[in-house]
Structures are given as structure tokens and as C-alpha cells.
Amino acid sequence: MRTTTVGNMPRRDDVIAEAVRLLCEEGPGALTSVQVAAGLGVAQSAVYRHIRDMDELTAIASRTVVAELNALFRSMVLAPQNAWSRTGAIDRFGQLFADTAVDRSTTFATVDRWRYVDGELGDGIRQLLAEGRELIALVLESRWRSGDGQTRPLDDHETRVQRLHAQLIQDDMIAVARLARSDLHRREAVGRLAAQRLRAGWFAYVRDLNAAHGLPAPALGWAS
């Protein structure tokens, strides 16, 4: 996609759009100033007229793609047809997750690649992941409450437990997405695994919250 240029001089937005395109279409390895310049049809030096350095551009572009993925998951998780009370919802969601992991494989690769680097690049990705965890925690809590009709607010320990479960579920799904990127696994197999891991995560979470509330351990609902 060639973007609008004025007198062959790209605007800052063009540079960012091209970086986002490279990240989406080709993944983190493709995001270099050479590639960005080539994509815009300008000299490499023109790229640096609008950005400080590649770190800045990478930070902006990766935040954009990860934020998009966050928004996508938010709509997936909160969609009524994916409510867990519905039969087969976890299986459907697992497959949906696997398909998304394949379609957005470059975004998951972006997360893996830069999540732990120092500076604004890593900070930006970590912050978006934290937002994702908030969503997971919220969904866990509301579903647990609707299942057992619990209205008591969570105490500090339970809040901690919940936050840790959300984090483990998120990292687990990132690991599943990594599988989806490897060519060893078919989409359906990854979808089944994602569903199975979500069941495991849900079971573990309910087990801990129930224990904290003096409720019996949950049944193992493993049947697909």
C-alpha cells in the first residue's frame, strides 16, 4: 500500500502507517528503516525526519497493533454468544482464539519479541498486556459470581489470587498462540488445546476462589 506523500516527502503518519503495515504483514523482523523507506519509496534518511529513531517508531507501531488485538479480544470475550454458560462456548472460543492467533500471528510475534525489552517499546507492550489481564480478571470474576451467586466483595488475598490467575491464563494463551505459529499444529488441534487450557484455567481459578469462600471444589468439566 503506497501512502500519500507530498513532494515525495512522507508525513509522520505515513511513516507510522508503513511501520504498522510491515509489522502486521511481515512481523517484527521486517520492521527496519530500510524496509520502511522502501515501502514509502523514499530515502532512508527521510524516515528519520519525523521520528527520533527506530526504537520510537517500533514502540508506536507495536502499540498500535497490540492495541488492535486487545480491542478484538475485548469484543470476542464480551460477545453474548461466547458467554460460558452456553453449551460448547469454551470450545467455540478456543477455536476462535486459535483462528485469531493464526490470523494475527505477527502481532503475537511482536509481543514475544519485545515484551521484555527495556524502554518505551517494552513498557508500551507490557502496559497493553496489563490491560488485557484486567479484562480477563473481570470476566473471571463476573462469571464466577453469576455461577455461584456470590455477592461478597473479594478481599485482598482473593484479589491477588484472581490477578495471578488472569496473568497465568494470559501467558498460557500466548504460549498457545506460539503453537499456532508453528506449522506442526493444525488450527483445529490448536483450537481444541486452547479450549482445554481455558477449562484448566477456569477450573483452577474457581477452585481457589471457592476454597477462599468455603465453597466446595468445582467439578471437572472436561467433556467436550
Partner 1 sequence: MTADGLRAPPKRSRRDEIIALAAGILREGGPTALTSVSVAESAGISQSSVYRHVASMEELAALASERVLTDLAGALAAAVTSADIDGETADDISVLASRMMGVMKESSTAYDVVDRWQFVDGPLGEAVRTLVDEACTTIAMLLEHRWRRESGWDGPLDDDVVRLQLAHARSFQADGHTVARVVRTTDDPATLAALTTVLTSRIIGGWHAYVADMQRQTGIGQRTGAAGISSA
Asked whether position 128 contacts partner 1 by CB under 8 A, the answer is no
User: Hey, what's the cell of 42?
Assistant: 523514499
In which element (H, E) is residue 174 found? helix 156-181
If one asks whether residue 181 binds partner 1 (CB under 8 A), the answer comes out as no
Choose between 84 and 203: whose C-beta lies nearer to partner 1.
203
Is residue 185 at the binding interface for partner 1, with CB under 8 A as the rule? Answer: yes
Comparison of 11 and 185: residue with beta carbon closer to partner 1: 185
In the beta sheet, which residues pair with residue 5?
A: 10
Site stretch for partner 1 (CB under 8 A), options 6-14, 51-59, 134-142, 154-162: 154-162
Residues 114, 125: contact at Cβ < 8 Å?
yes
Report the site for partner 1 in 83-112 (rule: CB under 8 A): 109, 112
Min CB(178)–partner 1 separation in Å: 8
**Cell 524502554 sits at which residue?**
119
Site for partner 1 in 186-205 (CB under 8 A): 189-190, 192-193, 196-197, 199-201, 203-205
* Rounded Cα gap, residues 181 and 39, in angstroms: 25
Cβ–Cβ under 8 Å, residues 144 and 150: yes
